[in-house]
Amino acid sequence: MLHSSVVRVGLITTVLWSRYGPAWLKALEAVGATLETVSGAEASAWRNDPRVQRGSSSIFELAAAEAVALSHCDRLLVPSINEGYDGTKGGAGDPFVADLPAALQHAVPGIPKVWRVATNAATPGFEANALALLAEVAGQPASARRVWQTHKSELLQTVGPGPRPANPPGDAWVGVLGQPWWLEEPYLAASYDFGGERALTPAVWPDSELRSEGWTVDPDLAPSDAEALGAARRMARMHRVKRLVLLVDPTSSSDAWLTRAVQRMARKPLEIVETPDPFTVVEGRRVEAAS
């Protein structure tokens, strides 16, 4: 239990923020936490710190830079992309993909204790973990339970990627693929200029459906890999998808694995596009923590 009257919680906002962050902002504020984030410029100031360079790829270096910049906080709230998965197959051979909270805590010395929150609210144990975190801030389980009941519906909706766009019209689409974190804004918009092309992204389907489809290929995949591969499998079968674009970070072993997997199943023209420098894309970005 924390003994300080005000608990400062640093928020990691650059990895799948839309899936878990907004609801946690409200819940943690309601339980009395002081919330802090860093802008892209503030994170970039730590880019050359040796601790940051322990990140396995550019986006996880950015997450490490956020963690270092928030070292003065009492706790860090970190998304658990593959909560409950204990394998190392596919992209999960990268420890930052397999277990981002644990990897940050282990690889980046000097950061606060990490609180892990699943980006998929359907993960077993989600409610128990949420109550434990809220109680650590509130100092008593009863207060945590009241906040949970108030914000329960929002917290449990973090299973999805947010509002889904309508299917684009026409019969000549380009399917856009990649690891889930690269298909969120602002990275997606900065990755590729589609011009007048009709772009189809995995966001038109529930991520749970895509994971289920990916697990038909290999039931031992990590959820994030299953989601990415499920989208690739689905788009490869669609007649109106004429070609595919795969967004990859050339420094990422997870993306290298995904590239090989998509190439095996594509059956359509496939263009490999390098993802943007995430430090540059989020320049000046800050999530407003205060209500």
Q: What is the pLDDT of residues 219-273, one digit of tens each?
A: 999 999 999 999 999 999 999 999 999 999 999 999 999 999 999 999 999 999 9
Average pLDDT, the chain: 89
CA distance 136 to 132: 6
Using CA of residue 198, residue 204, residue 207, residue 213, what is the dihedral sign?
negative
Residue 102 φ then ψ, to 5°: -65, -40
CB-based contact 244:177 (threshold 8 Å): yes
Query: If residue 115 lies in a helix (H) or strand (E), which one and from where to where?
Result: strand 113-118
Mean pLDDT of 150-172: 66
Residue 166 has pLDDT above 70, yes or no: no
pTM of the model: 0.90
In this prediction, residue 193 carries a pLDDT of: 80
User: What confidence score (pLDDT) does residue 102 get?
Assistant: 97
CA 116 to CA 161: how far, in whole Å? Answer: 18
The residue among 225 and 287 whose pLDDT is bigger is 225
Indicate whether 107 pLDDT > 70. Answer: yes
182 residue type, one letter:
W
Residue 34: which H helix or E strand, with range?
A: strand 34-36
Find the range with the poorest average confidence among 144-148, 157-161, 175-179.
157-161
Between 186 and 94, whose confidence is greater?
94
Reported as a pLDDT band with limits 50, 70 and 90, residue 81 is very high
Closest CA to 39 of 282, 291, 289, 290: 282
Contact call for residues 32 and 281 (beta carbons, < 8 A): no
Tokens standing for residue 216: 């038909």
What pLDDT does residue 79 have? 96
